[in-house]
Amino acid sequence: SEAKRPKPATLTQSTTFAASSVSRRVPHNRFGVGSTMATATPVQKRETQLGQNAAVAADMTRRMVCGGLAGMIAKTVTNPLERIKMLSQTGEHGMKDLSIIGLYRNILKNEGIIGLWAGNGTNLLRIFPAKAVVFSTNDMYQSMFRKLSNTPDDQKLHQAYSFLAGGFAGITASALTYPLDFARGRISGKLDGVEGSKKAYKGILRTIVVTVKDEGIAALYKGVAPTLMGAMPYEGIKFGTVGVLESWFPAAEDSNKPVRKMLFGGLGGVMAGLITYPNDTMRRLLQMQGSRGTEATYTGYVDCARKTFRSGGIRRFYSGALINTVRMAPNAAVQFGSYELLKQLTADYL
Judge residue 270's burial from the number of C-beta atoms within 10 Å of its C-beta, 0-12 exposed, 13-18 middle, 19 or more buried. Answer: buried
Judge residue 6's burial from the number of C-beta atoms within 10 Å of its C-beta, 0-12 exposed, 13-18 middle, 19 or more buried. Answer: middle
Write down the pLDDT at residue 350: 58
Of 263 and 17, more confident: 263
Residue at 73 is within a domain: yes
Write the pLDDT tens digit of every residue in 289-345. 766 555 667 888 899 899 999 988 999 899 888 888 888 899 999 999 999 999 988
pLDDT of 22 above 60: no
Write down the pLDDT at residue 97: 60
Write down the pLDDT at residue 137: 92
CB 25, CB 6: distance < 8 Å: yes
Residue ranges making up the domain that contains 180: 42-346
Write down the pLDDT at residue 138: 92
Q: How many domains does the chain have?
A: 1
The CATH number given to whatever domain includes residue 75 is 1.50.40.10
Model pTM? Answer: 0.69
Write down the pLDDT at residue 53: 75
Write down the pLDDT at residue 193: 54
Residues 6+ apart with CB under 8 A from 121: 203, 204
Write down the pLDDT at residue 68: 92
Write down the pLDDT at residue 50: 75
CA atoms within 13 A on the CB side of 208: 8
The residue among 98, 105, 77 whose CA lies nearest residue 318 is: 98
Look at 71-85, 201-215, 257-271, 305-319 and tell me which has the smallest mean pLDDT. Answer: 201-215
Residue at 270 is within a domain: yes
Q: How far apart are CA 335 and CA 329, in angstroms?
A: 10
Q: How far apart are CA 296 and CA 316, in angstroms?
A: 19
Residue at 27 is within a domain: no
Q: How far apart are CA 269 and CA 279, in angstroms?
A: 15
How confident is the model over 228-249, as a mean pLDDT? 90
Of 188 and 320, more confident: 320
Residue at 301 is within a domain: yes
3-state secondary structure of 295: coil
How confident is the model over 223-227, as a mean pLDDT? 84
Write the pLDDT tens digit of every residue in 78-122. 888 888 888 877 766 556 666 778 888 888 888 888 888 887 887
Of 199 and 341, more confident: 341
Q: How far apart are CA 323 and CA 77, in angstroms?
A: 14
How confident is the model over 156-160, as a mean pLDDT? 88
pLDDT of 206 above 80: yes
Residue at 74 is within a domain: yes
DSSP 301: H
Write down the pLDDT at residue 254: 66
Residues 6+ apart with CB under 8 A from 188: 82, 83, 86, 87, 118, 119, 123
Residue at 21 is within a domain: no
Of 123 and 315, more confident: 315
Write down the pLDDT at residue 2: 46
The winner for highest mean pLDDT among 1-5, 20-24, 197-201 is 197-201
Of 329 and 195, more confident: 329
Question: Sign of the CA dihedral 303, 307, 310, 313?
Answer: negative
Q: How far apart are CA 107 and CA 319, in angstroms?
A: 17
Q: How confident is the model at residue 13 (pLDDT cuts 50, 70, 90)?
A: very low
CB 202, CB 258: distance < 8 Å: no
Helical spans, DSSP H, in 289-320: 301-317
CA atoms within 13 A on the CB side of 202: 7
Q: How confident is the model at residue 257 (pLDDT cuts 50, 70, 90)?
A: confident
Query: What does 246-290 look like in DSSP terms, one character per residue?
Result: HHHSPPPTT--HHHHHHHHHHHHHHHHHHHHHHHHHHHHHHHHTT
CB 200, CB 213: distance < 8 Å: no
Question: What percentage of residues in the chain have a pLDDT greater than 90?
Answer: 29
pLDDT of 75 above 50: yes
pLDDT of 180 above 70: yes
Write down the pLDDT at residue 167: 94
Residue at 29 is within a domain: no
Write down the pLDDT at residue 30: 35
Write down the pLDDT at residue 96: 61
Residue at 168 is within a domain: yes
Using CA atoms of 205, 211, 216, 217 in order, give the dihedral in degrees to the nearest 10. Answer: -40
Q: How confident is the model at residue 26 (pLDDT cuts 50, 70, 90)?
A: very low
The residue among 85, 74, 147, 146 whose CA lies nearest residue 116 is: 85
